[in-house]
Amino acid sequence: MVVGAVGLSASIGLGVWALARNGGSLRPGAHAGMSSGAWESEWLTGVAGLKKAAADQKSNKRPMLVYFYADWCGYCRKLEANVLSTADGRTALRDVIKVRINAEASREEQQLAGELGVRGYPTLLLVSPDGGMRRIRTPQSTEQLRQVLG
């Protein structure tokens, strides 16, 4: 399903940069920057990670995958265990800018998820280098992941 073919600055701007206007700070916190762990270390995290990814995408013209999850989500854990953390999954995502956002971690993440139309978990948004954004069906295998990205 297509979320919208809008410029990256406009789509991301709905959430990230709108926070400043509402008095929300974009301060780094426990969910900003890079996360620790084997496969997770390859992903930027939280609102701060999304800001960094947007800047990286602008200069490097690579696609970006934004993964919204919740700690309690069983489907998210299954996606991570069976697709994202596997060697094949990591290879498929090698040339993609990756961002993980725990949509329930803070007010900023909750607001961003709402403004980008996240209604459940996991939600995956693929942002093309030209700023087009679309929601992608949760891949059940690394083969499906490659097809979605390819």
Give CA–CA dist 3/134, Å, rounded: 5
Give the model confidence (pLDDT) of 57-106 as tens digits: 999 999 999 999 999 999 999 999 999 999 999 999 999 999 999 999 99
Peptide bond into 122 cis (omega under 30): yes
- Counting beta carbons within 10 angstroms of the beta carbon of residue 87, is it exposed (0 to 12), middle (13 to 18) or buried (19 or more)? exposed
Give the lowest-confidence range in 25-34, 55-64, 126-135: 25-34
pLDDT computed for residue 41 by the predictor: 84
| Residue length of the chain | 150
pLDDT computed for residue 95 by the predictor: 94
Which CATH code, of 3.30.300.30, 3.10.450.50, 1.10.3720.10, 3.40.30.10, is assigned to 8-16+29-149? 3.40.30.10
Residues 46-63 as b or e (16 or more Cβ within 10 Å = b): bbbbbbbbbeebeeeeeb
Mean pLDDT, rounded, of the chain: 80
pTM: 0.76
Give CA–CA dist 47/115, Å, rounded: 13
Q: What is the DSSP letter of 139?
A: P
Backbone angles phi, psi at 109, to 5 degrees: -65, -40
Residue 23 has pLDDT above 90, yes or no: no
| Domain positions in the chain | 8-16+29-149
pLDDT computed for residue 37 by the predictor: 52
Give the angle subtended at the CA of 19 by the CAs of 128 and 132, to the nearest 5°.
15
Can you say whether residue 105 is alpha, beta or left, with left for phi > 0 and alpha for psi between -120 and 50 degrees? alpha
Residue 14 has pLDDT above 90, yes or no: no
Q: How far is CA 54 from the centre of its chain?
A: 11
